[in-house]
């Protein structure tokens, strides 16, 4: 191997390494890794009496955040706290009685439906049941 072939081989390898190191993060961003869904189908989210009327509690359901809401009328509702637009975490605003996504001003009503903003679909709703002194949240079948 003469000197010219060696330098061309070395520069070609360096160029290939540079391009790969620049493209790898872009590809990882565009195609995120798949997350394995945890097997939790039902979770104790709170104790009875823990939530005041017109308040909410953020809790972890499987590997995602979720919201348990005690409405002003005393109804318990639970939703995924992951916005359907860009996966930001939503929270409950008691003064407007809506779920709010701070990323792009998305708003959801207490049924999980989109009121305003860019979210393309409603929040995932969960079943809520009170057993004994605990409030359990489970996925809808």
> Rounded to whole angstroms, how far apart are CA atoms 38 and 119?
25
Cβ(103)–Cβ(91) below 8 Å: no
pLDDT in tens, the chain (141 residues): 799 999 999 999 999 999 999 999 999 888 877 765 555 688 888 999 899 999 999 999 888 899 999 999 999 999 999 999 888 999 999 999 999 999 889 999 999 999 998 999 999 999 999 999 999 999 886
- The pTM (predicted TM-score) of the whole model is 0.69
Task: Say if CB 140 and CB 127 are below 8 A apart.
Answer: yes
**Which superfamily, per CATH, for 42-139?**
Rieske [2Fe-2S] iron-sulphur domain (2.102.10.10)
Please identify which residue in the block is written with the tokens 């072939």: 5
Q: Which residues pair with 57 in a beta bridge?
A: 68
């Amino acid at each position: 191997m003469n000197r010219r072939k060696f330098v061309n081989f070395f520069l070609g390898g360096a160029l290939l390494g540079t391009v790969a190191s620049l493209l790898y993060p872009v590809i990882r961003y565009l195609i995120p890794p798949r997350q394995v869904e945890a097997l939790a189908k039902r979770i104790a989210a709170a104790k009875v009496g823990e939530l005041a009327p017109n308040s909410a509690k953020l809790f972890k359901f499987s590997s995602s955040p979720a919201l348990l809401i005690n409405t002003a009328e005393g109804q318990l509702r639970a939703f995924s706290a992951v916005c359907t637009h860009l996966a930001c975490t939503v929270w409950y605003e008691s003064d407007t009685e809506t779920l709010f996504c701070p990323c792009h001003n998305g708003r959801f009503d207490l049924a999980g439906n989109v009121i305003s903003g860019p979210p393309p679909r409603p929040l995932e709703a969960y079943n809520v049941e009170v057993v004994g002194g605990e409030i359990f949240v489970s996925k809808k079948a």
